[in-house]
Amino acid sequence: MKKITKIILLSLVSIFYIGCKKKSVKVSQEEPLNIILMIGDGMGLAQISTAFYFGEKIPNFEQFKNIGFIKTPSTSHTITDSAAGATAFSTGQKTYKRSIGMSKDSLPIPTIIETLQEKGYQSGLVSLTPITHATPGAFYAHVKDRDLHEDIALDLVKSNVDFFAGGGLKYLKHRSDEKDLYAELIAKNYQLDSVKLSKYDINKKNGYLLADEGLPSKTEGRKSFFQDATQLGLDYLTEKEKPFFLMIEGSYIDWGGHAMDAELLKQEVLDFDKTLGLVLKYIKKHPNTLLVVTADHETGGVSIGKSYVIDEKTGERSEEVDNVSINFNNDQHSGTLIPVFAEGRGSENFRGIYENNEIYHKIFKSINNK
């Protein structure tokens, strides 16, 4: 090929390439952005690391390129809890420990679900705990203390959340005020199921409350609820063809820390990673989606250290050079920086080190293409 022809050909190819690239970016930015926020309750870097040591495959966490860290203190306590942590994500404001959707002065502040509903968004919540528990509750309720489950349930009825799956049936059905919130939701055009993750009704809102309190943990025999509920939520919200916000909580990584139970911690992290895999697959098919994966705080002061075996006869300790042990500092939350992983449109906004409430503002920055 003559040099000049080659140059012309190359220029044509690059013009075509730039043209395509520009066009695809423009199209996707005109569409409203879907938001998926995955919260691994109590999931610090050591918890995530367990997936790298104990998983059978390369963890899905390894797919992320945009990674940051958050500082987690609440306004009242340096070591935070799930209520203040989730409220920082859901409202963009730091608040006091135990607050559900309330400011540091105990005034209700709009949550991301309420703000996005005004923009025509649908919303969904997936949790393993009661749907009235601190993390999911902070996304739709406004109460002064996280233990007020029955009040949080009253706010669930008012919230118009399009899809929810988790536990907590008793806070709707067996209440001290004898109200039947289950019946009230059905009257508000919800299809509800308290037995299984049945097929959703596309013409209704859908709620699944599969336990009186929380669902079983992995070590108690939970099967594929976390993946199935997440997939069901994604299918439903996608089929409705409106933008959505979906919060998915891996609730029991925190419990592994509180119980100082290495097996529970490992299994819950691996289950979280498995669910993350299906969400990342969704993002590949639906690039007009932002996924943010983080935690409210770390639990247990967990570290990954040397593993030892003790000789029964001599009592001598020797290192297992090809193994590690999961060590707990105590059974409480800790104050370490928490990793943030992001994928999809706007994911570059999540690099750096910043306060936990910035997650909310960065989500809106991504929605507004800034």
Residues in contact with Zn ion by CB under 5 A are: 254
Least Å distance, CB 293 to Zn ion, is: 18
Closer residue to Zn ion in complex, CB, 254/358: 254
CB of 147 to Zn ion, least distance (A): 13
**Contact, 288 vs 31, CB < 8 A?**
yes
The tokens 């059978």 sit on which residue? 56
Q: Which is nearer to Zn ion, 254 or 343 (CB)?
A: 254
Compute the distance between CA of residue 172 and CA of residue 192 in angstroms, rounded to an integer. Answer: 12
Which residue in 354, 299, 280 sits closest to 45, CA to CA? 299
Cβ proximity to Zn ion, 114 vs 254, nearer residue: 254
Measured from the CB atom, the residue of 162 and 254 that comes closer to Zn ion is 254
DSSP 19-71: HHHHHHHHHHHHSPPEEEEEEETT--HHHHHHHHHH-SS--GGGG--EEEEEE
Question: In terms of DSSP H, where are the helices of the chain?
Answer: 3-30, 45-54, 82-91, 112-117, 134-137, 149-159, 170-173, 181-187, 225-239, 253-258, 262-285, 358-367
Q: To the nearest whole angstrom, how small is the minimum distance from the Cβ of residue 261 to Zn ion?
A: 13
Specify whether the CB–CB gap between 60 and 276 falls below 8 A: yes
Q: What are phi and psi of 8, to 5 degrees?
A: -60, -45
Nearer to Zn ion, 259 or 293 (CB): 259
* Nearest to Zn ion of 41, 358 (CB atom): 41
Which residue's CB is nearer to Zn ion, number 79 or number 186?
Answer: 79
- What are the tokens at 80? 């935070």
**C-beta closer to Zn ion: residue 151 or 296:** 296
DSSP 92: S
Minimum distance, C-beta of residue 194 to Zn ion, in the bound complex (Å):
26
Q: Which is nearer to Zn ion, 150 or 254 (CB)?
A: 254
Distance of closest approach, residue 136 Cβ to Zn ion, in angstroms: 14
- Rounded to whole angstroms, the Cα distance separating 248 from 255 reads 17
To Zn ion, the closest distance from the beta carbon of 277 in angstroms equals 25
Percent helix, strand and coil across the chain, each to the nearest 5: 40, 25, 40
Burial 241-272, CB ≥16 within 10 A → b, else e: eebbbbbbbbbbbbbbbbbbbbebbbbbbbbb
User: Residue 308 corresponds to which amino acid?
Assistant: Y
Minimal distance in Å, beta carbon 254 to Zn ion?
4
Comparing every residue's Cβ against Zn ion, the nearest one is: 254
Q: How far is the CB of 159 from Zn ion (least distance, A)?
A: 24
Q: At what angle do helices 262-285 and 45-54 cross, to 10 degrees?
A: 90
From CA 318, how far away is CA 268, in angstroms rounded?
29
- For the bound state, the minimum distance from the C-beta of residue 299 to Zn ion, rounded and expressed in Å, comes to 5
